[in-house]
Amino acid sequence: MNFVVSSSTLLKHLKSISGVLNSSNTIPILDCFLFDLNKGMLTLFASDMETTITTSIKVESSESGNLAIPAKTLLEALSNLPEQPISFIIDSKKFSAKLKTETGDYTLTGHNGDEYPKLPKVESATSVIIKSDVLGNAINKTIFATGNDDLRPVMSGVFCQFNDENSIFVATDAHKLVRYTRNDAKAGASASFIMPKKPLNVLKNLLSGIDDAVKVEFNKTNAYFSFGNINLVCRLIDGKYPNYEAVIPKQNPNKLTVDRTSFLGAIRRVSVFANKATHQIRLKITGSQLTISAEDLDFANEGHETLMCTYTGEDMEIGFNSKFVLEMLTNLESDEITIEMSAPNRAGIIVPTQKANPAEDVLMLVMPVMLNN
């Protein structure tokens, strides 16, 4: 099995799928890319057993065959080569690949390609077509709110819910929650699944800069994403997602509207003086004045800033974890944000005051922290 391919084209495709590979594996073949050649079409595979990605390149060859080639060594070798055609000469008995370039020859020993994990088939699947920018936005807006608790695996992924009216993406770690709704992405039937964080991160990187429709097929165990020449299959998180609607307070008479950039900057500065364990900041709202303060009693540090705001409701003081609020403000784009609150011991809801896209609806919820008065 021999073929010729452009070094930069091959490197670009390998880098695009390399995000799924683990840094250390108990199974040596998972440290490899699978090269599968079929009469001029080279399909590249990367897998960690849970997630498998493939991409395809046209190459000069009329042969067929496969070989698993060590990923790290190959990526380093290609990264240091100038753009040029490379000839791959595969010895299927020794499971080795010789790379012939304009200036030298390099030999890599790999593994039998037949032993590489097979791409799982998604049978009895529900199918949805969604725009790449919609899916990319949904991942960007929600993934930061996923949890890391091994005891609650359902919270370590993003809940994707499709119906004939809209598509909803939800992430929560029990301290913060994000619900991202798109009214311009609809499915023929109601269906849902929980997607793990790692393949979502890989998918997010693959979708950046792509203007294409993404076909999503899924059943109870796997989800399959295909767009352009990329295919990604991942195992879904098994379990029932918590009733997220039940934790979103419906009656929030106290509404604070403030410039997002000014608020973000003030919290960044003030949170430097907060307790390093709790990251607690205090918001005190009186009339049209918002005071943001933090203190660390252990070191007698404190800081506060005052901003002008628009506020309707009773004067109140409420405490939040500054890290959570900063993450939320960073992931919003509107010039102003509105924080809706009911009481100092109830969750605060952060929403963009102006919608960048009328079909998009973003709601972020953050739980309060008890204030030491």
CATH number for the domain spanning 153: value is 3.10.150.10
pTM greater than the 0.85 cutoff: yes
Do 348 and 262 have their domain in common?
A: yes
C-beta separation of 113 from 38 below 8 A: no
C-beta separation of 340 from 313 below 8 A: no
Q: For position 183, what pLDDT does the model report?
A: 92
C-beta separation of 293 from 303 below 8 A: yes
Do 360 and 255 have their domain in common?
A: yes
Do 96 and 56 have their domain in common?
A: yes
Q: For position 120, what pLDDT does the model report?
A: 84
Domain span including residue 155: 126-160+185-239
CA distance 96 to 114: 14
Residue 202 lies in a domain: yes
Instruction: Provide the number of structural domains found in the chain.
Output: 3
Residue 297 lies in a domain: yes
Q: Residue 37 corresponds to which tokens in the numbers above?
A: 């050649």
Q: For position 370, what pLDDT does the model report?
A: 87
Q: For position 297, what pLDDT does the model report?
A: 87
Do 308 and 362 have their domain in common?
A: yes
Do 146 and 228 have their domain in common?
A: yes
Residue 178 lies in a domain: no
Q: For position 231, what pLDDT does the model report?
A: 95
Final residue before a domain boundary, out of 56, 85, 115: 115
Do 48 and 85 have their domain in common?
A: yes
Tell me the mean pLDDT per 10 residues along the chain, length 373: 95 96 92 95 96 95 94 96 95 94 94 92 86 94 93 94 93 97 86 95 91 91 94 96 94 96 98 94 96 93 96 96 97 96 96 91 95 72
Task: Give the C-alpha distances (Å, rounded to integers) separating 174 from 50, 199, 252.
Answer: 26, 22, 20
CA distance 347 to 261: 22
Do 89 and 141 have their domain in common?
A: no
Do 45 and 108 have their domain in common?
A: yes
Q: For position 373, what pLDDT does the model report?
A: 62
